[in-house]
Amino acid sequence: MMRALGRIILLPIAFVFAGMATLFVVFSLGQERVVQAISARSQDEVPVNAIMDLLVLGLRFASVHTLVPALLLVIVGEAARIRSAVYYIVGGGVALAVVPLLTRIGQPATLLELSPMVWQVLATAGFAGGFVYWLLAGRNA
């Protein structure tokens, strides 16, 4: 009984820490690309459009669509008692790489074109988040 109660407390805490690690990686790796995108414009032009595009993308990532793949990964891992680090690390990368596709459901296919660097940053952040979750809770599933 105490072990089950401990798992109920540990899982959300581990999920929050994994999410914080993922956000840290997204912001630290993506910061250089954001600065390059904004500063690549001419000095006479105010980069308002670039800033607005980044804000819209950030709001899309803050939606529920970002949590669903990661929650499914955790629920399946806990229900099946998967202890493999590979499952959580690769699954975390895939779960975060799927997010841009989920946020654009119902939009034209031309909007699905993202830079390969964006996919790399998202997958790397997902790998880091999956690793943190595995360290805290996954290896004892």
User: Which range marks the domain in which residue 92 is found?
Assistant: 2-140
What does the alpha-carbon distance between residue 16 and residue 87 come to, in Å, rounded to a whole number? 19
Please tell me the total count of domains within the chain.
Answer: 1
What does the alpha-carbon distance between residue 69 and residue 99 come to, in Å, rounded to a whole number? 8
- Percent of the chain surpassing pLDDT 70: 68
pLDDT, tens digit, for every residue of 85-108?
999 999 999 988 888 777 777 666
Residue 46 pLDDT class (50, 70, 90 cuts): very low
What does the alpha-carbon distance between residue 64 and residue 74 come to, in Å, rounded to a whole number? 16
pLDDT, tens digit, for every residue of 21-38?
988 888 888 776 667 666
pTM metric for this prediction: 0.76
- Percent of the chain surpassing pLDDT 90: 21
In the chain, the amino acid numbered 97 is: A
